[in-house]
Amino acid sequence: MLKLDVTADVAKATEHLSDLAQRHIPNAAAKALTRTAFDARDAVRDGLPERFNLRRPWISRGIGVTLAAAHPDG
């Protein structure tokens, strides 16, 4: 017969997951916000000719995106 004992250090696992969340979630959120901003910018640029008579192509290129930062202070 096989006997199996399993032990787990829940406090250590919780600490590891908390550390993981602190390091990766801000970066993932910043990346998602930046991608969403670029998608919104592209949608606005694509819709400009339908609403305005653009005589110069550089006008639509003036719509930009500010990249999201995971840690705004640095």
From the CB of residue 4, how many other CB atoms can be counted at a distance below 10 Å?
4
Task: Indicate whether 71 belongs to any domain.
Answer: no
Please tell me the total count of domains within the chain.
1
Task: Indicate whether 27 belongs to any domain.
Answer: yes
Q: DSSP string spanning 18-50? A: HHHHHHHHHHHHHHHHHHHHHHHHHHHHHHHHH
Give per-residue pLDDT as tens, 24-74: 899 999 999 999 999 999 999 999 999 999 898 898 999 999 999 988 775
Task: Indicate whether 73 belongs to any domain.
Answer: no
Q: What is the pTM of this model?
A: 0.69
